[in-house]
Amino acid sequence: MASPAPKSPELSEKSKKYDRQLRLWGDHGQAALESARICLINATGLGTEILKSLVLPGVGSFTIIDGEKISEQDLGTNFFLDVDSIGKSRAEVATQLLLELNPDCQGDFVDENPQVLMANDPNFFQSFHMVISTNLPETTLIELSKTLWSLNIPLLACRSYGFIGSIRLQISEHTIIESHPDNTNPDLRLDKPWPSLIQYVDSIDLDSLEVKDHMHIPYLVILYKYLKLWQSQNNTQDLPKNYKEKQNLRELIRSGIRKDENGIPLSEENFEEAMKAVNFALIPTTVPSSVASILNDNACVNLTSKSEPFWILAKAVKDFVDNEGNGNLPLRGSLPDMTADTTRYIALQQLYRDQAGRDADVIYRRAQQLLHQLGQPSSAITEAQVKLFCRNASFIHVIRGTCIADEYDPRTSNARQISEALENGDGLLIYHVMLRGVDKFYTEHNTYPGEYDDQVEPDIVKLKSCISKLTAEWGCGVLSKDDYLHEICRYGGGELHAVSSFLGGCAAQEVIKILTRQYTPLHTYCLYMMYSLLISNTGVYAL
Amino acid sequence: MSEQKNGSSPGNMARKWNHLRKVLERPGPFCTSPSSEALSFLQTSCKVLIIGAGGLGCELLKDIALMGFNEIHVIDMDTIDLSNLNRQFLFRQKDIGSSKAEVAAKFINSRIPGVKVIPHFCKIQDYDSDFYQQFHIIVCGLDSIVARRWINGMLLSLLQYEEDGQVDQSTIIPMVDGGTEGFKGNARVILPGMTACIDCTLDLFPPQVTYPLCTIASTPRLPEHCIEYVKVIQWSKENPFDCPIDGDDPNHINWIYEKASERASQFNIVGVTYRLVQGVIKNIIPAVASTNAVIAATCATEVFKLATGCATSLNNYMVFNDVAGIYTYTYEAERKSNCLACGPANQPKYLDIESLDMKLSELIELLCQHPSYQMKSPGLTTMQDGRNRTLYMSTVRSIEEATRENLKRSLVELGLRDEGIVNVADSTTPNTLEITLRVTAKMAE
C-alpha cells in the first residue's frame, strides 16, 4: 500500500499554495521573491493593483508611502479600500487590506507625503530592493529618480491616465542568466562533434541492423551519418546552406529508408524526423551576437574586485571560448526527445551530459582562478551556478537603462527620438508627449487638464500651449492634430480601474522579473492604449 | 451588512464614479457615443454574466464591479483549492472546499456596496436558453475549450434572423473571452453570427500533448513516459486503491511517483520529480496573478466599451506575452464560411467516411479527431422506420450498457447508408447536430 510520503520540499503547504507559479520560476526564484523588500509610493488604484500581484505570489515585504486621505473617488477605482475608510489614511487601509491576501507577506506603511519624506529622510529608501511609484507629479518623480539612481535601487514609475498608461523602468544594470526564451534550436554540434560523439555514431552500422533496430536509431545519428555522406559526395566540409542543398540531403536520407519485399518504403519515423531536423539541427554552431557583445563588454573584459558573479562567469566563459572551446560556447548538454529505443537514446543523452559537464568543469576552474586573482572568496561562485550559466550561455542578457531625470534635462533628453517618432507618425509615442504635456500642465496649473467639467474646452487650449513649449524645447514641429488633446482632456486626470488593473499586472510582472533575475524585463518604457483598435496597443521604447 | 454600508444612493456617494463619468459623458474624437444615460444604464439595467470564478473570474468580478456595473452573475461549478490562493485573491485559507462562485460573490458584495453579485454554483450546462437570454453581455474566464464551445453554441442558438437572412441585431449577446497560460494570454470579442466564433478558430488552441502507447510501454526516454506508463498501464493492472486516479489525492500521487521513479531508474532515465508527476497527472497549466490581471482587465475594458460605446471595441483578438518585455498584438480573426457552429443555419453538415464497413467505434473516434468537429464523447441516434434509435450514448449508464455492443458493429449492420443522417449530441455544443454521412471512394495514394 502507500508508503510514507517521500521527503520532498515539493510536498510542503507552501509549495502547494505556490505550485502554479513555481512551475515558472522555480524554488530559487520563489526564494528570491520571498526575501525581497519593496516600496510603493502612492496607494492609488494602480498602486494597489501592482502590490496585489506581488503579495499574492509571496513577495517578502512591502512598505506603502502615501500621505493622502481616502476620498469617495478613490473607492471608485481602488479595490483595496472599503466604504468605512473614507477620510482615513490611504496608506494604512491599503496596507491592511493587502495583507489579508497572504499571511506569508509582511507589510507596513508611512502616512506621509513622499516629497516631504524624501526631504526629511533622504536615506529612507536604502533598505529596499526596488521602489514602485504611481501617478507622481514630475517634480517629485525627478527627485525620486535621482535619489534612487545614486543608491543603485531600481525604480518602476507607473501611471494610469484615462484609457492610457505607461510603465518606465529605471535600472542602471540588470543581468539575466535564466531568460527562458520561448523558442530555441537545440545545441547539437553536428558541425563540430567531439571525439566521443563521433566514436559513438561510428559504432553504429545502419546497414547491418535488424529492421526493428533500424527504426529505433535516434535521428541524430542518422542525420550525422548522412551529413558526412553528403559532404563527401559534394566534396565540402560545410553544412548544407540553401534550400537546394538541404533538399538534396533530405533525399539522401530518404534513400536510406528500408524497403519491404515489394520495394515499398517502410514507415520509419526516425528517418522522417531526421529529414525534418535538417532545417533546425544543422545550423552552424556560433556564439550569438547578443552573447558576443556581453563577452566583449568592458564589465566582462576588465573585471574588478567588485565585479558581480555574473560578470566573472561571463569572463570565465569568454576565456573558455577563446581557448578550450575553440570559438564555441560550453555545450548546453540537453537532447530533444526523438523516436529511439531507450538504450541508445539514453546513451546519446549521456554523451551530451558528459561533454557539458566537462565544459562546465573547465569554466568552474577558470572562474575560481578569476575569483582568486580578484581577491574574492571562492564561495562567491558555486559549481551549481556555473552549470546554470553554461546551460543558459546562449541566452544570457544584460539591460542597461537610463535615469528618468535625464529625460527632463534638455542636455540629456532623447528629443531626437521623440521628434523622429512624431514625424514618422508613430502611433503610440504621441501619448508619451501627451503625458509629458499633462505633467507640465499640472506643474503650471496644479490641476489636470479637464479635471473640472466646465474647464474642458479652455484646458484643451492650455494643454496645447504646454505641449508646444515641450516640442519647441525638443526642436520638433508643432503637433498638427488636436484629436489627442481632446481625448486627454476628456480623461480629466481620471483613473479607470480596468486600465489600472491591466498596468498593475504588467508592472508587477516586471518587478518579479527584476527580483528573481529571470525572464527579460522591458527595456525601458512601455506605453499602453486601450481605447481604440490598433494592431499594437503596446509600444516598448528604449529611453 | 450594516445599514450605512448599503447606502450607495447618489446623495452620499455622488463623487465615487467621477472618473467613469468623464469618459462616459464627455464627447471626444475617439468616443463613439457619449451619453449621460450610460452610467445609469450600467447601474440599473445592464446585466453581465461572468463564466468562471477562478483566476480570471476573480479579477473580472472586481474589474467589472469597479467599472460601474451593478448586477453581475457569476457561474462556476468548482470549489476552492489551496493551489488557487496564489492568484484567486477573493479566497482565503478558511474558504478551501467552499464554492468559488459563492465565496467570490460574497466578497465583492461586502467590499463594494451597491453591487449585487449573484452566484450560481453549478455547471453552465445546468441552465438553458431562458437563463442565458437575460444578459446583455457574457464574459468568460475559462480553462476549458469544451465549455467555451458550449456557451458559444448557446449564444448562437439564441440568434434570430430577419426575413432577408440578416441577423436580428437585438438577439446578439456579445461574448468576451479570455485565456491565460503562464506569461501568455489572449482576449477576444465575439459578436455571435457577426464575427469569428470559438469554433471558427478551433485551430488556435494548442493540441494536447499525447505519447504513443508503444513509446510508453517499450521505449520510454523521458520522465513523462515513465509517469504515463504508471498512469495508463500500471494503475489499472495493480489497482492500488480500488478506484480511478484522483489527482488531488496525495496518496495516489505518491504511489505514482514511486512507481514512476522505479521505472525510470530501470531505464536510467533521470528527472522524475513529485512536481512533474502532479503536472502530468493533473495536466497542470502554470498560472500567475499578473497575467490573469492583464487578461481580465482587457476583457473588462471590452465589456465596458460594448455596454457604453465610450470607445471603439477590440477588433477582435489580442494576444499578450510578457516573457521578454511586454508584447501585445491585435488582429481580426476571420469567420470560417462553413463553420459548423456559426455558419448558415441550414447548411448541411457532412462527415466523409471511407466505407460503411467502418465500425461505430471508429465513427465515434473520427468525430473526436476530425478538425471541424473535435468532439469529446458524442452520443448518436438515427431515425429508422420512423422511430428514433439510439446507436450509442456514454453519458447515461443504463443506455451505455444497452448500446455498448453496437460499438463493435459496422455501420451497415446498424442500418446506416450513404447519405444517411445521424443525430449527434456532445458536450461541446448545446445543440444536436444533424450529420450526413458521405461515403467517399478511397483516394489513390
Say if residue A19 is in the same domain as residue A131.
Answer: yes
Say if residue A86 is in the same domain as residue A212.
Answer: no
Mean pLDDT of A46-68: 98
The domain made up of B349-439 has a fold known as 3.10.290
Mean pLDDT of B394-413: 93
- The answer to whether A508 contacts B290, with C-beta atoms less than 8 Å apart, is yes
With beta carbons under 8 A apart, name residues in chain A contacting B89.
52, 56, 101
Per-residue confidence (pLDDT) for residue A425, from 0 to 100: 67
Q: Measured between alpha carbons, how far is residue A259 from residues A75, A204, A266, A268 in Å?
A: 75, 20, 5, 10
Question: How would residue B9 be classed by pLDDT, with cut points 50, 70 and 90?
Answer: very low
Say if residue A152 is in the same domain as residue A73.
Answer: yes
Mean pLDDT of A115-135: 95
Say if residue A395 is in the same domain as residue A408.
Answer: no
Question: How would residue B173 be classed by pLDDT, with cut points 50, 70 and 90?
Answer: very high
SS (H, E, C) chain B: CCHHHHCCCCCCCCCCCHHHHHHHHCCCCCCCCCCCCHHHHHHHCCEEEEECCCHHHHHHHHHHHHCCCCEEEEECCCECCHHHCCCCCCCCHHHCCCEHHHHHHHHHHHHCCCCEEEEECCCHHHCCHHHHCCCCEEEEECCCHHHHHHHHHHHHHCCCECCCCCECHHHCCCEEEEEEECCEEEEEEECCCCCCCCHHHHHHCCCCCCCCHHHHHHCCCCHHHHHHHHHHHHHHHHCCCCCCCCCCCHHHHHHHHHHHHHHHHHCCCCCCCHHHHHHHHHCCCCCCHHHHHHHHHHHHHHHHHHHHCCCCCCCCEEEEECCECCEEEEECCCCCCCCCCCCCCCCCEEEEECCCCCEHHHHHHHHHHCCCCCCCCCEEEEEECCEEEEEECCCCHHHHHHHHHHHHCECCCCCCCCCCEEEEEECCEEEEEEEEEEECCCCCC
Closest CA to A448 of A137, A164, A192: A137
Say if residue A531 is in the same domain as residue A426.
Answer: no
With beta carbons under 8 A apart, name residues in chain A contacting B324.
179, 181-182, 519-520
A241-245, A474-478, A503-507, B132-136: range with lowest mean pLDDT:
A474-478
The answer to whether residue A282 scores a pLDDT higher than 90 is: yes
Mean pLDDT of chain A: 93
Distance from CA of B301 to the nearest CA of A (A): 6
Per-residue confidence (pLDDT) for residue B1, from 0 to 100: 35
The domain made up of B213-282 has a fold known as Arc Repressor Mutant, subunit A (1.10.10)
Determine, yes or no, domain membership for A536.
Answer: yes
Q: What are phi and psi of B229, to 5 degrees?
A: -60, -45
Calpha distance A467→A439 (Å, rounded): 10
Kindly report the length of chain A: 543
Say if residue A28 is in the same domain as residue A85.
Answer: yes
Cα B427 from chain centre: 11
Number of domains in chain A: 4
Q: What is the pLDDT of residues A382-409, one digit of tens each?
A: 999 999 999 999 999 999 999 999 998 8
Determine, yes or no, domain membership for A8.
Answer: no
More confident residue, B164 or A63: A63
A244-258, A495-509, B172-186, B385-399: range with lowest mean pLDDT:
B385-399
Say if residue A475 is in the same domain as residue A384.
Answer: no
- Nearest by CB to A520, from B275, B279, B324: name it: B324
Mean pLDDT of A514-542: 83
The answer to whether residue B5 scores a pLDDT higher than 50 is: no
The answer to whether residue A371 scores a pLDDT higher than 70 is: yes
- What residue in B sits closest to A216 (Cα-Cα)? B219
Per-residue confidence (pLDDT) for residue B206, from 0 to 100: 78
- Is the Cα dihedral A160, A165, A171, A177 positive or negative? positive
The CATH number assigned to the domain with range B11-206+287-331 reads 3.40.50.720
Calpha distance B311→B31 (Å, rounded): 5
A474-478, B366-370, B435-439: range with lowest mean pLDDT:
A474-478
Mean pLDDT of B281-302: 96
The answer to whether residue B288 scores a pLDDT higher than 60 is: yes
The answer to whether residue A97 scores a pLDDT higher than 80 is: yes
Mean pLDDT of B5-18: 61
Which of B214, B299, B310, B342 is catalytic? The answer is: B214
Q: Where in chain B is the domain with CATH 1.10.10.520?
A: 213-282
Say if residue A472 is in the same domain as residue A531.
Answer: no
- Inform me whether the C-beta atom of residue B325 falls under 8 Å from chain A C-beta atoms: yes
- Inform me whether the C-beta atom of residue A325 falls under 8 Å from chain B C-beta atoms: no
- Inform me whether the C-beta atom of residue B290 falls under 8 Å from chain A C-beta atoms: yes
The answer to whether residue A148 scores a pLDDT higher than 80 is: yes
The C-alpha cell 464497413 sits at B357
Say if residue A20 is in the same domain as residue A167.
Answer: yes
Say if residue A357 is in the same domain as residue A395.
Answer: yes
Interface of A with B in 66-125 (CB under 8 A): 71-73, 75-77, 79, 82-84, 100-103
Closest CA to B342 of B220, B192, B208, B221: B192
- ipTM of predicted assembly, 2 dp: 0.95
Per-residue confidence (pLDDT) for residue B399, from 0 to 100: 93
- Inform me whether the C-beta atom of residue A529 falls under 8 Å from chain B C-beta atoms: no
The answer to whether residue A470 scores a pLDDT higher than 60 is: yes
Domain boundary among A491, A515, A533: A491
Question: How would residue A536 be classed by pLDDT, with cut points 50, 70 and 90?
Answer: low
Say if residue A131 is in the same domain as residue A39.
Answer: yes
Per-residue confidence (pLDDT) for residue B7, from 0 to 100: 40
Calpha distance B56→B77 (Å, rounded): 15
In single-letter form, the type of residue at position A416 comes to: R
Q: What is the pLDDT of residues A15-41, one digit of tens each?
A: 999 999 999 999 999 999 999 999 999
Say if residue A378 is in the same domain as residue A297.
Answer: yes
pTM above 0.90, yes or no: yes
Question: How would residue A535 be classed by pLDDT, with cut points 50, 70 and 90?
Answer: low
The answer to whether residue B200 scores a pLDDT higher than 60 is: yes
For A274, the domain range is: 195-278
